[in-house]
Structure 1
Amino acid sequence: MAADATPSYLRIADDLRATAQRSAAGTRMPSISTLGAEHGVSTGVVQRAYAVLVEEGLVLARPGAGYYVRSQEPPEVMVRRPRAASGDGSPTAAVLAEQGIAGTWRSESSPVRATAETAARLEIPAGDPVMHTSYVYLADGVPLMLAESWEPMAVTGGSLIVLPEAGPHAGIGVADRMALIGIDVGMPVERVTARAASRTEAAALGVAPAVPVLAVVRTYYDQVTGRPVETADVVMLGSRWVAEYGTRPQA
C-alpha cells in the first residue's frame, strides 16, 4: 500500500479542523509545542497548519496567547464616526460604548527621532524628538484595530500629557489631552484607503495575511497656529468596520 503523500502540515490541519469544529467558540487550541511533540514535527510545520485554519476563518491567532476557536457567527460591524465634541475621552472607546461594546486597548510609548516621513507629516525637521505610541484596540477582548501615533516633543515635552497612556491624563484621547495644554485641535484631517493587511498587521490582528483593511492617515492640527500636533496611521479590519461621515440634522 502506497504511503500517504499528504504533507504533514495538511494532515495536522485536518486534525485541528476537526477539533475546532467540535469545540465552542473561544476554546483555546493545543499549543504549537504540544502538537510538535505529538506529531514529531518542527514548530514551523505546526505554524503552517494553523495558518491554514486561520485562512479558513476557523481559528483566531492571538499573539503571545496562542490559537482560539473562532465564532462562526457573522461578526458585529462597528461604525467609526468622527469625533464630534470635546470632553468625551477616547473617541474609539466612546464609539464602541455607544454600540454596546466593551472597548479596551494595549499600548506602548517611547521617545524616538522622527523619520523623514513622520517629520514631513508633522512639519518638523527630520530627527527631531517625537513620542511614538503603538496601539492594539480590542472589542470584547478581540483585536480589531491598530494605530501608530507620533507627537512632537516640542509640543508635549515637559507637560503631564507627554505620555498618552500614562500619568493623570492617560487614555482620554488626543483632543482632550491637547486641550489641557491650551491647544484646540478641532476635527482631524483623515485620508482613508483600502488595502491588504501586511503580515505584521495580520499577526497583531490575529487574521490571515492580505485580508482587507481600511488604512487611515490622520493628522490633528492646532486650530490657531495651523501646525500639526499629532499624526497617526490607523488600520481597521474591513470585516469589522464601516466609516460614517457627516451629521444628520435634528428634527
Structure 2
Amino acid sequence: MADRQEAGYLRVAQAIRDRIADGIWPPGHKLPNRPTLADEFGVGENTVRQAVEIVLAEGLLESFRGRGRGTFVRAPRERHVLPRTLTPTAVPGPLGLTPAGSLVSVEAESTAKVPAPAPIATRLGIKEGELCVRTDYEVLADLRCVLTATSWEPYALTKGTPVVLPEGGPLAGRGVTERMGQIGLTVTRVTEVPRPVQLERETAQLLGTTPGAQAISIERTHYETGGRPVETADILVSAERWDITYDIPLDPVPRT
C-alpha cells in the first residue's frame, strides 16, 4: 500500500512537470485545485499535495496566499552574476559579494557578548560559550534580498576598541581585513567552503523563492598572521537566480 501511495505522488509530480515542459501549462498558468487534480489522476488529495510540494521545491511552480491565491507555473528567472573578487584591496563591502549593475544596499545588525555555539566555537578556535560579536546581514539589490549572512568575531579580540561592532564606529562596513588591521592584526588568509543546501521556509521567503529551493552556503573564515581565526561567517545565496563567479588574480610567471 505504501509503495502504491509513493508511486502515486511521484506519478502526479512527473505529469505536472511534463505539462509544464510541453507548454500545456505555460508560465503564469494557475493549477486546478486539489479535488480537481485528485479526480483527474485517480488519487487522494493528500497525494496531490505531496506531488505539488515536490514540484514547488524544484522551482517550477510558485504559490501565493491571500487575494489571487493559488499555485502557478513559474516563469523562468533570468540568471545574474554575483562576482567574488579575492583581491583584498578590491573586496566590495563586508561580505566580498556584490551584484553587478544593481543598486545595492546592506542591512546589518550587530549584537555583542553572544555566547558562541559549539560549531562556531570550533571554527574560531575558542571554547563553546565564549563571548562573540554576532552580525546578521541582508544584502539587497534593487530592493530585493540577494543574500544573507551571519558573521561571528571573538569579543576578546575587539572589546574596548573602535571596531568592536563591524557596522559601527569609524570603519563601519569596511570589511574584516581593514578593521582587524586597525587593531594591529594582519589578516593573511581566508578559507571558503561552498556547500549546496535547501532553503527553509523563513529564509526562502526572505530570498524571494520557495521552501526547499536550492541555495549555496559559503562557510568563510578569516585568519591572522599566526593562523588564529578572527572571524567566521555563513553566507547564503539562492542558486536559482545567482551564479557566484570567483575572480582569482595570479602572479605572472616570468619567461625563462
Higher strand share: 2
| Contact 1:193–1:215 (CA under 8 A) maintained in structure 2 | yes
Q: Is the aligned partner of 1:154 residue 2:156?
A: yes
Give the structure 2 partner of residue 229 of structure 1: 230
Q: Is the aligned partner of 1:125 residue 2:130?
A: no
Q: Is the aligned partner of 1:238 residue 2:227?
A: no
Give the structure 2 partner of residue 199 of structure 1: 201
Deviation at 1:59, TM superposition (A): 6.9
Deviation at 1:55, TM superposition (A): 7.2
Deviation at 1:84, TM superposition (A): 0.5
Q: Helix, strand or coil for the counterpart of 2:164?
A: coil
Q: Helix, strand or coil for the counterpart of 1:179?
A: helix
- The one-letter amino acid paired with 1:232 is A
Return closer, same or farther for 1:167/1:91 CA change in 2, 3 Å cut-off: closer
Give CA deviations for 1:175-228 in whole Å, capped at 9, x if unaligned: 1111111222134101111121122321221221111101111100012x2110
Return closer, same or farther for 1:59/1:104 CA change in 2, 3 Å cut-off: farther
| Contact 2:86–2:248 (CA under 8 A) maintained in structure 1 | no
| Contact 2:87–2:249 (CA under 8 A) maintained in structure 1 | no
Q: Distance in 2 between matches of 1:125 and 1:211?
A: 34
Number of aligned residue pairs: give it: 189
| Contact 1:93–1:104 (CA under 8 A) maintained in structure 2 | no
- The one-letter amino acid paired with 1:79 is L
Give the structure 2 partner of residue 77 of structure 1: 80
Give CA deviations for 1:25-76 in whole Å, capped at 9, x if unaligned: xxxxxxxxxxxxxxxxxxxxxxxxxxx8x9734879xxxxxxxxxx957434
Return closer, same or farther for 1:78/1:127 CA change in 2, 3 Å cut-off: same
* Percentage of matched positions with identical amino acids: 31
Give the structure 1 partner of residue 61 of structure 2: 56
> Equivalent residues in 2 for 1:151-230 (5 A)?
151-223=153-225, 225-230=226-231
| Contact 2:84–2:97 (CA under 8 A) maintained in structure 1 | no
Return closer, same or farther for 1:93/1:114 CA change in 2, 3 Å cut-off: closer
Cα RMSD, aligned residues only: 3.0
Q: Distance in 1 between matches of 2:195 and 2:204?
A: 17
- The one-letter amino acid paired with 2:86 is R
Q: Helix, strand or coil for the counterpart of 1:90?
A: coil
Q: Helix, strand or coil for the counterpart of 2:145?
A: strand
| Contact 1:83–1:91 (CA under 8 A) maintained in structure 2 | no
- The one-letter amino acid paired with 2:171 is H
Q: Distance in 1 between matches of 2:97 and 2:197?
A: 26
Give the structure 1 partner of residue 43 of structure 2: none
Q: Is the aligned partner of 1:137 residue 2:139?
A: yes
Return closer, same or farther for 1:233/1:93 CA change in 2, 3 Å cut-off: closer
**Where does structure 1 lack aligned partners over 5 or more consecutive residues?**
1-20, 22-51, 61-70
Structure index of larger Rg: 2
Q: Distance in 2 between matches of 1:139 and 1:129?
A: 32
| Contact 1:216–1:234 (CA under 8 A) maintained in structure 2 | yes
Return closer, same or farther for 1:170/1:72 CA change in 2, 3 Å cut-off: farther
